[in-house]
Every structure is written in C-alpha cells, then in structure tokens.
Amino acid sequence: MSSQPTTPAAAVPDRLEYDVIIVGGGCSGLAAATTCARAGLNTIVLERGKPGNKNVMGGVLYTKSTNDVYPEFWRDAPVERPVLEQNLWVLTPDSAVKVGYRSQKFGEQGDQPPNCFTVLRSRMDNWFAKQATTAGALIVPNTTVTEPIRDGSRVVGVRTSRPLGDVYAPVTIICEGVNPQLTQALGMQGEIETHDMSSCTKEVLALPPQVIQDRFHVVPGEGVTIELFGDSSAGMLGMGWIYTNRDTISIGIGVSLDDYIKSEITPYDMLQRLKAHPMVAPLVDGGEVREYSSHMIPEGGWRKLPQLYGDGVMVCGDAGMLVNAVHREGSNHATWSGKIAGETAIHAHEVRDFGKKTLAHYYHHLFKDVPTLQDLRKYRYAMEFPVKHRSVTNTYPDLASYAMREMLTMDGATKREKEFRILRQVLRARSIFGYVYDGLESLRMI
Ligand SMILES: Cc1cc2nc3c(=O)[nH]c(=O)nc-3n(C[C@H](O)[C@H](O)[C@H](O)COP(=O)(O)OP(=O)(O)OC[C@H]3O[C@@H](n4cnc5c(N)ncnc54)[C@H](O)[C@@H]3O)c2cc1C
C-alpha cells in the first residue's frame, strides 16, 4: 500500500493495522467511515475506483437518513433540486394516465429541510468522502479488496489488489454494493438469481435551467420526479424515471435481469426507446448526453437477506440486499446501515469484543432503529407478484388508458353507454376469476 498516513516512516510495521476496515466507498461505506472516524477510530476505506466514479443512482436522496449522518448537509452539499412534486405515469404506446402529488410542504419550511433532493452521485459521493476524510478516515482509491483474511471463523482483515496490500483490523464492514463477492466468499450470501436483480441504464442530459423549469412547471430551486410504468419497459418487468436536476435531467430505465436475458433488446436500446416515447420525447428534446451509466439494483428483499454479521464482520447497504425496490429506497437504507455498523464497531472497541454476539448489536439496531427496513418484510412478495402476473405491466395500463380515453371523448354516446363499453373491454381483457386472483395476490403483496 502506498498510503500509510498513521505510520511514521521510521517505524514501518510488519503489517498494516487499523481499528476498522471498510470495503467500498459508496453511501454505506462513507457513512460507516464518517461515523467511526468521528469517534476516533483509526479507519481505512478501500475503494476500487474513486468515490462517485462507480456509483449510480436515479437519484432521489432522502433527507432524513442523510441528515442523521451529515447534519444539515443540504446547506453545503452539492444537492440538485428539492423534490416538491412526485408523479407516476402509466404509459401505453401513445398515452399516459398520470397521478401526481405536489406540495410546497415538501420544500424547506422554516427550520424543516426538504423531504428529499435530486442528486448526482458523482458529485454527492465526493462530498460524502470529504466528510469522512475531514473526520479522520483514510480513503484509499483504486484498490480492490480481493478476499477476506480469516483466522478460523473470524474475519481479521482483507487482501487487496496492491502488492503487499494486506490490511488487518478486528472489525471489517463490507459495503461492496450490488455485486457482493466478499460476502459470498465468506459464505454469508448464496448465489444471486437473475430474477432478484434489475439492470438499469441511465443518462444525464444537459438542458438550460430555464428550459427544465418551463417543461416541468417549476421555479428555480424546485424539482420534480416522474416514475414511468407500463409501456416504458416494453412488456418486460421494469420501470423508468425522469428526475430534474439544476441544469440536467436524469432519465433511466430498470428492467428485471431475467427479462433482459430472455429478450433481444439491449439496455441501451431500451433507454433510447423510452426517450422516443411521445410522452417523454418533448421533455428530453435537445438534451445533450453528459453521462451514460449502467448498474444493477438488488431486488431480492427480505427473503434474500444475507447473513448481515459474523465474527469480526458486518455487511451493509446493497451488499446486504437492503433495498425496497417498490419505493425506490436504497440509498437511505445504505446510509443508515453504514451508520449503525459504524456505531456497532465503536461499541465493539469499547467492550474489546468483536465476536458475532457483540456484532449482533448491528442487526438488532438496524431493524429496530430503521422502521423503513421493516417494510422489506411487508413487501416480501412484492417482486414475486408482477413476475407471475404480467397483466400488471400490460393489461392494466391498457385498460386504464382505454377507460380514461372513453370517458373523456365526446362522441355523442351517453355516459351509461360508455360505462358498458369499458365493462365490455374489462371482461374481454381478463376473466372474472383472473381479476379476483390478481386482487387477492395484490393484497398478499402488501
Ligand atoms: C439506476 C439506479 C437508480 C437508483 N435510484 C435510487 C434512488 O433514486 N433513490 C435511492 O435511495 N436509491 C436508489 N438506488 C439504489 C442506491 O443507489 C443504492 O441502494 C445505494 O447506492 C447503495 O449504496 P452502497 O454503499 O451499498 O453501494 P454503492 O453505492 O454501490 O457502493 C459500493 C462501493 O463499493 C465499491 N466496491 C465494490 N467491490 C469492491 C471491492 N472488492 N473492493 C473495493 N471496493 C469495492 C464500489 O466501487 C462502490 O463504490 C438506485 C440504484 C440504481 C442502480
């Protein structure tokens, strides 16, 4: 390792030892690092790229979780726009049924910060990294952790891609994101199946702020999110999104990896298809591509949670499958899990015990202190339902569009006649038994 800031040159030790090792410098890793370093622990973060370079998010960043680690972050951090309006558009090839909610209460209200912000991870993660280093953590970029180092069942350090790059600590916090190779190497996570992953593709398109404001009907300092369901994923299981930033918009599409494998279409083509949709094209028209990225989201949820702690080790964020895909909550759980793992590491140092029993503190606090993680249990069947019932992505959007068009078209027919037409269409699309079944299954889902 080239960076040895805590070791005077005259006394190069046999091995690099820290109080805590953090693998990965994303939302969870940097929250863990900031927490540990602030408490005076000698903290090292090993990151295979540079913070922000390899991290992808839609990206809506929730204030509550971020504020818990970085108080009043929004006053200084490079956030884009506070989100005042959230929309869901159900698309067919030529229409959109739109549901939305806007409230000025989502913005800054006296000493109350906005509910959430749009962000670009390349900028945000750099800011998070700055907070961690200011607190005293060492972030070593361009360094991949290749394997855990164990003493019996206990994790005592990690091997890195650097020559003589073994690092030791009594506790290691794994924050390696969606591809949990170390967690798997430790036997804490099994094989991840393709239906538990969604593959996302995103572009950041530059547009003048005034154009963004005019198109999305906001003023400077206000932002909008639009989630796109139905035709956005071309019959496959997935969702698109458009989020407004200061002088860019983020547009993306995530589709079940399973469906991509079975289809002929590439993620790049899916995104271009979405950009060309008649409801979307006017919003992105003239946008110059600033960033193109692709990333996975782990969607296995509650039923695929790995073992989150062991002797000398804890697992956070996406590596721990702590994502609620239905409500696009991932960064908040990553941040909270990093914070709680950091607090557990501090506690372990206080009691000088790094065994599984002490680190169980992490698991208990995670599910006690982060109520939204309990949602994972509530939604444990959520991803199963649309996989089994493709009517959700195809039939229902078509029916919703048909019903709206019928009721809003003045063609001389009475409203009663129109209700009959809609009923006929509904009965043609699916059997009564099918609707009852879908209804019961969707109840089970929530
Ligand atoms: C397209 C997309 C849109 C999303 N939108 C939203 C959203 O709007 N709101 C929201 O809350 N969440 C969203 N999420 C989810 C959110 O981005 C993640 O839940 C969150 O980033 C997880 O943080 P993390 O720290 O666990 O992982 P990451 O942020 O992915 O960080 C993992 C880090 O570990 C590093 N790493 C991996 N392996 C190694 C290794 N062996 N050695 C060293 N370093 C390693 C990686 O380089 C990376 O920097 C989205 C995700 C995607 C993909």
For ligand 1, is residue 180 a contact (CB within 6 Å)?
no
Give the pair of three-digit tokens for residue 229.
């369901």
Tell me how many helices (H) and strands (E) the chain has.
15, 19
Q: Is the distance from the beta carbon of residue 92 to the nearest atom of ligand 1 less than 6 Å?
A: no
Q: Is the CB of 56 under 6 A from ligand 1?
A: yes
215 CA from centroid of ligand 1 (Å): 30
Is residue 47 domain-shared with residue 140, that is, in the same domain?
yes
To test ligand 1's pocket by mutation, which of 55, 126, 327 has the most ligand atoms within 8 angstroms of CB? 55
Q: Is the CB of 200 under 6 A from ligand 1?
A: yes
- Say if residues 65 and 28 touch (Cβ distance below 8 Å): no
Domain assignment present for 86 = no
- Specify whether 252 is located in the same domain as 400: no
180 lies in the same domain as 202: no
Any domain includes 203: yes
Cα(15) to centroid(ligand 1), Å: 30
Our answer on whether the CB atom of 24 is closer than 6 Å to any ligand 1 atom is yes
The reported pLDDT for the residue numbered 380 is 83
| C-beta separation of 301 from 377 below 8 A | no
pLDDT score of 439: 85
Q: Which residue's alpha carbon is at the smallest distance from atom 41 of ligand 1?
A: 145
Q: Compute the distance from residue 74 Cα to the ligand 1 centre, in Å.
A: 20
Cα-based distances in Å from 161 to 1, 49, 297: 9, 12, 25
Distance of CA 178 from the midpoint of ligand 1 (Å): 7
274 and 317 in one domain? no
Any domain includes 287: yes
The number of domains in the chain is 3
Co-location of 365 and 230 in the same domain:
no
pLDDT for residue 321: 95
Residue 85 lies in a domain: no
State the distance between the two ends of the chain, measured CA to CA, in whole angstroms.
49
Whether residues 170 and 126 share a domain: the answer is: yes
Atom of ligand 1 nearest to the CA of 293: 1
CA 197, 159, 138, 52 dihedral sign is negative
CATH number at residue 153: 3.50.50.60
- Nearest Cα neighbor of 44 from 65, 30, 26 is 30
Spatial distance between the Cα atoms of 70 and 97, rounded to a whole number of angstroms: 38
Q: What is the pLDDT of residue 245?
A: 98
Q: Is residue 83 in some structural domain? A: no
Q: Give 288-354 as a 3 state SS string.
A: EEEEEEEEEEECCHHHHCCCCEECCEEECHHHHCCCEHHHCECHHHHHHHHHHHHHHHHHHHHHCCC
Q: How far is CA 111 from CA 75, 106, 108, 293, 320, in A?
A: 12, 13, 7, 36, 34
Domain-ending residue, one of 266, 298, 330: 298
Q: What is the mean pLDDT of each run of 10 residues along the chain (446 residues)?
A: 43 81 98 98 97 89 97 97 97 96 91 94 97 98 97 97 94 97 97 92 98 97 96 92 98 95 93 98 98 94 93 98 92 97 98 97 93 88 72 85 96 95 93 86 76
Residue 106: name the closest of 124, 97, 98, 118 by CA. Answer: 118
Residue pointed to by tokens 């003589």 = 164
What integer pLDDT is reported at residue 7 of this predicted model?
40
The model's pTM is 0.93
Same-domain pairing of 158 and 198: no
Residues 156 and 211 in one domain: no
Q: Is the CB of 140 under 6 A from ligand 1?
A: no
Distance 334 CA to ligand 1 centre (A): 8
Amino acid, res. 403: A
- Residue 109 DSSP class: B
Instruction: For residues 274 and 188, give the distance between their C-alpha atoms in angstroms, rounded to a whole number.
Output: 38
Helix (H) or strand (E) holding 256: strand 248-256
* Final residue of a structural domain among 312, 346, 369: 369
Same domain, residue pair 46 and 180: yes
**CB of 332 shorter than 6 A to ligand 1:** yes
Pairing mode, strands 223-230 and 83-92: parallel
Nearest residue by C-alpha to atom 35 in ligand 1: 24
Residue 43 lies in a domain: yes
> How many other CB atoms sit within 10 Å of the CB of residue 284?
18
CA nearest ligand 1 atom 34, residue? 24
DSSP lists the bridge partners of residue 131 as none
> Is ligand 1 within 6 A of the CB of residue 37?
no
Tokens of 380: 């444990």
Residue minimizing CA distance to atom 31 of ligand 1: 26
CA of 70 to the centre of ligand 1 (A): 18
294 lies in the same domain as 306: no
Probe target for ligand 1 pocket from 53, 117, 176, with the most ligand atoms within 8 Å of CB = 176
DSSP secondary structure, 120-184, as one string: -HHHHHHHHHHHHHHHT-EEE-S--EEEEEEETTEEEEEEESSTT--EE-SEEEE--TTS-HHHH
Count CA atoms closer than 13 A to 442's CA, side-chain side. 11
What residues does 200 pair with on adjacent strands?
A: 254, 295
Burial of 112 (0-12, 13-18, 19+ CB in 10 A): exposed
CATH assignment of the domain containing 250: 3.30.9.90
Residue 202 beta carbon below 6 angstroms from any ligand 1 atom: yes
Q: Is 59 in the pocket of ligand 1 (CB under 6 A)?
A: yes
Q: For residues 199 and 44, what is the distance between their CA atoms, to the nearest angstrom?
A: 31
Distance 315 CA to ligand 1 centre (A): 13
Residues 224 and 171 in one domain: no
Establish how many alpha carbons lie within 13 A of residue 331's alpha carbon, considering only the half-sphere containing its beta carbon.
28
Domain range for 69 is 9-78+119-190+301-369
**Residue 322: inside a domain:** yes
Structural domain includes residue 108? no
| Ligand 1 geometric centre to CA of 386 (Å) | 24
- Check whether residue 311 and residue 172 sit in a common domain: yes
Q: Is the CB of 334 under 6 A from ligand 1?
A: yes
- The domain boundary residue, chosen from 298, 317, 338: 298
